[in-house]
Structure 1
Amino acid sequence: MQKLKFNKDCSGFYATVKERVDHYFTSNNISKQADGRMIFKSVFFLGGTFSLYLLILSGQFSLPGMLILSIMLGMFAAFVGFNVCHDALHGSYSSHQWVNDALGSVFHLLGANTYNWKISHNTVHHMYTNVHEHDDDLIVAPGLIRVCPQDKSTSIQRYQHYYAFLLYGMASLAWIFSKDYVKFFQNNIGKSCDTTTHPRIEFFKLFFFKALYYFLVIALPLMVLDISVWQFVVGFVCMQLAKGLVLGLVFQLAHIVEDLEFPEPDHTGNIDDIWVAHQLRTTANFGSGSSITTFLCGGLNMQIEHHIFPKVCHIHYPAIAGIVKQTAAEFGLPYHENTSFATALASHFRVLKKLSRQPVLAVA
């Protein structure tokens, strides 16, 4: 285990940007938590997901229609994760913790484990963004996909920019059947987070909610639908591929695009930067000017604001983005952004292609 350390913020950047953002909320008498727009989004995506699920269980559609509904269900499940669960699990949805806990628990019904997520994402990823062997999000498909210049290079990765997107789609299948179990029972997540012990209730939650998910998406459909096993498998896999691809692309486009850095700590575990500047160097926005992109991605296309202010509900990110960008410029710090989802996707493709041929970066 190796605990990393960042430099003390002597520049005053974080204090300044925080003061300005706080002033925006107080001067406009606005809460940092969810508002009516956020509640509408939650009802829309949760209601849409539940409706699609019931439509499939009704069995009133042709096989092609059922397949389309299954793909839509997978996409809506990802959007629920972005727009509802992500904020709730960060504690930014509501000032009432029971509301955050209730909405965060929906994550279990998407096949994921909230306890693992809070450790690997909220704690490890947000603290050590893009730091090799510390940021758990850099582990995509070991040996097959290289997203970090310090990663070991293999011969098959020479073609990763072509097959990576298929593997992104398979991420959901891996998550619901393998990833959560592996993460829960391994001794650490990254090099800095010891996970050798867990509260007893988390053992129960892991297996209970996984069993519930398997029942809802596998056993129950097979029990009530007049379809063959192979027809179910096709629909189930397509649903998971759709969910995995949406999840994978949105998260990759925030940290694995051109101009972003992958800092290395020195031998003492010190990263020669302040934490907030580190976030600006390792994170990028995309499509922040598109209301559709922002609506669907739950503010995850505005990762800069999210990483600096994770306790602020994403519905407010468009309003505070200008404050963060202007303050970064005043302090000579970068503010990376791609104009659209398409330009970010092209940038990610170029990074994958570059890393497919680039020698391994020597570690200090």
Structure 2
Amino acid sequence: MKAKIKFKKATSPFYAELREEVKLLLTEKVIRKANRLLIIKFISYTVIFLLLYGNLFNPYMKGKTWAVILNYTLLGLTGILLAFNCSHDCVHNTFSKYKKMNQFIYYITFNLQGVNARLWRKRHITSHHVFPNVDGCDADIDDNIFIRLSAHHPIRNIHQYQHFYATLLYCFYTLHWIFIKDFIYLRKKELGNLRNQNHSWKSVVEVVVLKLAYFTYMLVLPAIFTGIPGTTIMISFLIMHLTISLFFVLTLIISHLSLETDFPIADENGCLPYDYYEHQLAVSLDYHPTNPLANWIFGGFNSHAAHHLFPGLPHTLYTIITPAIKKAAVRNNFPYHEKSIAEAVISHYQYLWKLSK
């Protein structure tokens, strides 16, 4: 019988000290400001998203292919930013003190992107966040036929070229998620560290109905109620997905899959080499973690160490607590990885090249 995966017992004062330092930093005034910023971001991205969608029905758009393509692309990017900056916090119940409000917002905003909110939450919370970068436990790095994401995965002949063709595959990430990935997860009995997964027929119907609703509001309604040709709508929709796929992948994948991040292996007793908190630092890479503009755009995904150490805090606090994390890591001789976003993307492709050998 396979040993249950577990973390090494914590012996360092790292987290105990850090938690006290963070408490001192997060005064009532700081927390109120961070919560206000969350609401401002939610309103801003929601209003922009609705205005861009409404603009598709603007008579001015008729006959202007370039304007339709641009509008769709901006609409898609705004939807991703809404998910980054609001939905993700709602999934962790850090947007509002009211759990039902968090559930409502993340459910609506995620499904507006064509991906199933419920399936993503289960994978994210109960798999990725528990054992990030651990093979067989983190659903985000499951064995992939086309891309080898871990040195512990089997190597196939096609992988020797993966650093060349990865960008092309990344361009279709969201379309693959919408059309294929969600349905694969509906059929999978084992998902990362999750075993005996079962989905009721109601869950399956929910997934199908929500996807039909997505295609209805993104494709059918504009085709019926505007003078925009159907081919223009389809081309615009495709370009939108190519753009947001690259943006989505290359701002998220670099947080865990790079030359700097570790992929810990459990020993014969199922024990990982790090305690829980050192593990979160070892497998994460930050980019511009204290930059307010980066925080506004990426919703804290650029401050991944802070997010994995303090998932119960809203991302608008990460710029404040990251300096304390850095200092605590140095004091305790714990790993901490930080690069610019350009360096992080380069590191990811170097990582793919390394794993192609």
TM-score, reference length from structure 2: 0.93
Aligned to 2:288: 287
After superposing on structure 2, the runs of 4+ consecutive aligned residues of structure 1 that deviate more than 3 Å are 27-34, 198-205
Alignment-derived partner of residue 165 in structure 2:
163
Map of 1:51 onto structure 2: 51
| Aligned residue identity for 1:35 | N
SS of 1:60's equivalent? helix
Taking a change above 3 Å as real, the CA distance of residues 264 and 42 of structure 1, as seen in their structure-2 partners, is same
The residue that corresponds to 1:71 in the other structure is: 73
User: Partners in 1 of 2:240 and 2:247 — Cα distance?
Assistant: 11
Q: Which shifted more, 158-167 or 40-49?
A: 158-167
For 1:332, the equivalent position in structure 2 comes to 333
Identify if the C-alpha distance between structure 1 residues 17 and 201 changes in structure 2 by more than 3 Å, giving closer, same or farther. Answer: farther
Structure 2 CA distance for aligned equivalents of residues 200 and 7 of structure 1: 40
Distance verdict in 2 for CA 1:255–1:21, change over 3 Å: same
In structure 2, the partner of 1:274 is 275
8 Å Cα contact 1:170/1:241 also seen in 2: yes
CA distance in 2, matches of 1:163, 1:77: 27
CA distance in 2, matches of 1:88, 1:179: 22
Output the CA distance in 1 between the equivalents of 2:134 and 2:36. Answer: 37
- The aligned amino acid for 1:206 is V
Q: More displaced, 95-104 or 283-292? A: 283-292
- The reply to whether residue 22 of structure 1 matches residue 38 of structure 2 is no
1:128-207 residue pairs with structure 2 within 5 A? Answer: 128-139=131-142, 142-190=144-192, 192-198=193-199, 202-207=203-208
Partner of 2:349: 349
What is the CA-CA distance between 1:155 and the residue it aligns to?
2.2
CA gap of 1:40–1:308, structure 2 versus 1, over 3 A, is same
| 1:104–1:15 CA distance, 2 compared to 1 (3 A) | same
CA distance in 2, matches of 1:17, 1:201: 44
What's the C-alpha RMSD, in Å, of the aligned pairs? 2.0
CA distance in 2, matches of 1:207, 1:33: 40
Give the whole-Å Cα distance in 1 for the aligned partners of 2:176 and 2:112. 16
SS at match of 1:273: coil
Q: Tell which deviates more after alignment, 67-76 or 303-312.
A: 67-76
- The one-letter amino acid paired with 1:243 is I
Distance 2:28 2:190 in 1: 43
1:17, CA displacement in angstroms?
Answer: 1.4
The answer on 1:126 being equivalent to 2:129 is yes
Identical amino acids, percent of aligned pairs: 28
- Whether the 8 Å contact between 1:279 and 1:307 is mirrored in structure 2 is yes
User: 2:318, 2:202 → 1: CA distance?
Assistant: 35
Aligned partner of 1:345: which letter?
V
1:113 to 113, 116, 125: 116
CA shift, 1:58, in A, is: 2.7
Distance in 1, Cα, partners of 2:309 & 2:341:
21
- Unaligned stretches of 5+ residues in structure 2: none
Q: Which residue of 2 aligns with 1:362?
A: none
SS of the aligned residue for 1:263 comes to coil
Greater alpha carbon shift after TM alignment, 312-321 vs 209-218: 209-218
- The question of whether the paired residues in 1 share the 8 Å contact of 2:7 and 2:275 is answered with yes
Q: Give 1:321's aligned amino acid.
A: T
Paired positions, count: 353
Distance 1:354 1:124 in 2: 26
* Deviating more after overlay: 67-76 vs 80-89: 67-76
Change in 2 beyond 3 A, CA 1:33/1:89: farther
**1:133 deviation in Å?**
2.5
Pair 1:81-2:83 in alignment: yes
For 1:234 and 1:306, the matched residues in 2 are separated by 37
* 1:318-350 Cα deviation digits (max 9, x unpaired): 000011111111111011110x21111111121
For 1:122 and 1:188, how far apart are their aligned partners in 2? 15
2:210 and 2:324 mapped to 1: Cα distance?
41
Q: Do 2:73 and 2:239's aligned partners in 1 also have CA atoms closer than 8 Å?
A: yes
What is the identity, as a one-letter code, of the residue corresponding to 2:141?
Answer: L
Which 10-residue stretch deviates more, 284-293 or 299-308?
284-293
CA 1:32–1:139: 2 relative to 1, 3 Å: farther
Measured in 2, the distance between the counterparts of 1:164 and 1:149 equals 17
How many angstroms apart in 2 are the aligned matches of 1:308 and 1:296? Answer: 21
Deviates more, 1:262-271 or 1:288-297: 288-297
